[in-house]
Amino acid sequence: MNQIEKTLSIIKPDAIERNLSEDIKSIFLKNGFQILNEKKIKISKEEAEQFYLVHQSKPFYNELCNYLSSGPILVMILTKENAVSENRALMGATDPKDAKEGTIRKKYGLSIDKNSVHGSDSTENAVKEINFFFKD
């Protein structure tokens, strides 16, 4: 069933550094997402470790947490029908080399680690991730 959902999107340090946030936001808007809330922040390594806790056993966990805490990020709450899967589709595959034409990671991603955007992977994780960054 089609449901209006919310999902968490993050524009990662590599994209902020290249001043791509306005371009990426306009892609979301053109694709029917509304941006309900947004803030530009810099998180600590400990916060990144907490955010990516599901990946703690992965070999890339330490580098991933170093990276997400290495510079400013833009966190956003996006909404539309089926926002979680629609955002995943628009982002493209984790490795930009595998991402399809027309996806954000294909257009802007530099590598599997510097892949420009994060998006929640389930409605349950979307709620958790939104609460992580927007507690009020």
- Size, binding site for ligand CDP by CB under 6 A: 9
Q: Which of 76, 118, 119, 126 is catalytic?
A: 118
Per CB under 6 A, does 115 bind ligand CDP? yes
Candidate residues 26, 94, 122, 131; the one interacting with ligand CDP per rule CB under 6 A: 94
Tokens matching residue 133: 């960054």
Phi and psi torsions of 81, nearest 5°: -60, 135
How many secondary structure helices (H) and strands (E) does the chain include? 7, 4
Concerning whether 55 is annotated as a catalytic residue, the answer is no
133 C-beta neighbours (distance < 10 Å), count: 18
Beta carbon of residue 127, minimum distance to ligand CDP (angstroms, whole number): 16
Q: What is the spatial distance between Cα 123 and Cα 129, in angstroms, rounded to a whole number?
A: 10
Residue type, 12: K
Sign of CA dihedral 95, 97, 98, 99: positive
Binding mask 29-68 for ligand CDP (x = CB under 6 A): --------------------------x----x---x----
Beta carbon of residue 88, minimum distance to Mg ion (angstroms, whole number): 9
What is the binding site for ligand CDP (CB under 6 A)?
55, 60, 64, 94, 112-113, 115, 118, 121
